[in-house]
Chains A and B, each alone.
Chain A
Amino acid sequence: MAAVRTSTEIGFNRAAVVAVLVVTIIFLAPIYWIASTAFKPRNLATTIPPTIVFQPEISPFVKLFTKRSQLRTPPTPEEYAAAPWWERVVFDGGEKIVRDGKGEVQWSGYPNRFMNSLIIAITSTVLAVGMGTFTAYGFSRFKVKGEADLLFFILSTRMLPPVVVAIPMFLMYRAVGLNDSHIGLIILYTAFNLSFSVWLMKGFMDEIPKEYEEAALVDGYTRMEAFFKIVLPEAATGIAATAVFCFITAWNEYAFALIMTNRRAQTAPPFIPSQVGSGLPDWTVIAAGTFLFLLPVAIFTFLLRNHLLRGMSFGAIRK
């Protein structure tokens, strides 16, 4: 009996491993596709069947950051020899980098959009997590009149897809002059994330034993000091998890960014596909933009991985 059961178990384990591998491949395939396309020469980007083995190139990234125009005549050997390496790779692709009258290189719109994304996502994450943490602490530790109703109200703001209110929001934003502004998107994303942040942080706050703060109160600290010295460090795990989720939401948001912004405060998501429209689509440039866009979230999550994995209480409270 035992032997039979063991072999079924082994079989089951192997099947599980295979299943995990398949799922992993399905999830990683698009990322690989984007990453590999970002390093492909333009003519290999759209081949059928896809090119798997190729000489990686940096040219898509050079093109991503610069304004280019089609070469009517090939560069003279002198021009080619005088050009820096990054200009040569553009020449090789049959394009040239646009320069102004003083010979300064013209940048593409991408770096600005990327910065906008960073500013808006980081600020709205800090605001949402900060306010969420304070709110959650209040709900967790004090008797609040109508607590259940208030928490339900906070949650109810997530009960319809945000896009539903896009048009009224756009009109309101235009009326008060918030459209195409950083602050406008920051307010919007903070509002999206706040309810989520409050609920998630409430869960984490409830997990932190009250005795920690009580000990600090008796030890001669005010509640505010106890909050900053004891509760916040204990809530680090929860704050990290909440921050990752809020950051991802704000970073990836597309619909409102598309509607509310066009130049000054435009974020990367609506900008990247907009490059498709200018001339022949250069998929390698789009892939390069997308690839760079993926990095911050990956790095942020990677940096916080220890906090995300670490347990809440680690044995200093005996229950």
Chain B
Amino acid sequence: MTQIELRGVQKFFGAVQVIKDLNLKIADNEFIVLLGQSGCGKTTTLRAVAGLETIDEGDILIDGKPVQHLKAADRDIAMVFQSFSLYPHMSVYENIAFPLRATRKSKSEIDAEVRSVAKTLQISDLLAKKPSALSGGDMQRVAIGRALVRRPKAMLMDEPIGALDAKLREEMRAEIKRLHIKQGSTTIYVTHDQIEAMSLADRIVIMHEGVLQQVGTPDEVYSRPANLFVAQFVGSPVMNVADAAVAETTSSASVSVGGAASGFEFPRALLSKLNGHAGSELALGIRPEGVLIRRDAADGFLPVETQIVEPLGSFDIVDLKVGTKMLRARTKSGFVSGPGEKVFARIDPTQAHFFDKASGRSLEVRL
């Protein structure tokens, strides 16, 4: 039963502020992913929770107790490093037993626990080996084993699978998830890979330049991004963002993109939901699957020309020229034969996001 809370945490490296007033509550057993580009402060945040980095202001609470003045050793937290940091001069067994040796456990107890963890992670046959003899995936299993064996209050993982190749990364991702479900412990996981974040997290915390951007379930973050940064950071292929002008027509609203003469048709309700922002500078965000295309003309569809087609196997990504802007649409594979084809496109209003260009904030328009 471990809750972790960050209250008004600030951290400076010299004159540079790497964490800006961070507030976050992590529930017991929750799997939290800190997501962001490199240098956004996510690793520093993790290291601050671990006790490897001091903070300049604020509180870090574990189970309600402030721990920011405690040494790493006294916080009862385990950490998996990106480099794995297995001690090269020790065997796998000794590596896993190492955290237990810091406690006053008897030899037989330690032995039993090392073997049980090794069994869980299916590395029992590797116990006698030296880390240098292991593959990347096995090193990572051992690193996780070393973290798990002490049954810490919380697990911290700093890009634990970032150093592995793509296929192995996918395998290990599933394994981490399986392990979390089975063992259950409060986990903070740092990554820059949004797919990893989406697939693992109970809640994702998106950070940018030391500032928390949004906290939410993978679904919330994906379908209701709080601002332009989150909108473009989460999701692959990336969400289309274009300057948009909203106009009133007789029966509906029209949103024109990239200075195109005619706009996409939107329900009239858009105007009221924009809540007075209709006149200000707006950005329209639409994910590629929200751009619908068909071959023949239909109501509300605008004629557009295809530019580039990227076949991705299960689907294609097609670049459409709308005004001066390119919109990327997701189609069935093979739907568009190639560049230069005339097709008809429309934007699914229920999947559209509107952002205030000046602040980048979402206007929370849901149609």
Contact = CB atoms under 8 A, between A and B. Distances in A.
B349 interface: no
A216 B78 CA distance: 10
Interface string B91-111: 000000011001100000000
Interface in A212-227: 212, 214-222, 225
Interface stretch (B81-89, B185-193, B266-274, B312-320): B81-89
A218 B50 contact: yes
Given A218-B51, A221-B102, A315 B132 contact: yes
A222 B102 CA distance: 9
B77 interface: yes
Interface residues of A, number: 25
Interface string B248-278: 0000000000000000000000000000000
B89 A233 contact: yes
Contact of A219 (B82, B89, B146, B163): B146
A316 B73 contact: no
A317 B134 CA distance: 11
B72 interface: yes
B285 interface: no
Contacts of A214: 50, 52, 72, 79, 81, 85
For A215, A221, A229, A315, the residue with the greatest tally of chain B CB atoms inside 10 Å of its CB is A215
Given A218-B77, A219-B78, A219-B150, A318 B139 contact: yes
A145 to B, nearest CB: 15
A218 B132 contact: no
Interface in B61-78: 71-73, 76-78
Nearest to A317: B83
A318 B136 contact: yes
Contact of A218 (B52, B89, B139, B163): B52
B88 A316 contact: yes
A13 interface: no
Contacts of B303: none
Interface of B: 50-52, 71-73, 76-79, 81-89, 98-99, 102-103, 130-132, 136, 139, 146, 150, 156, 163
9 contacts: A209-B85, A214-B50, A218-B79, A221-B102, A234-B89, A316-B131, A316-B132, A318-B136, A318-B163
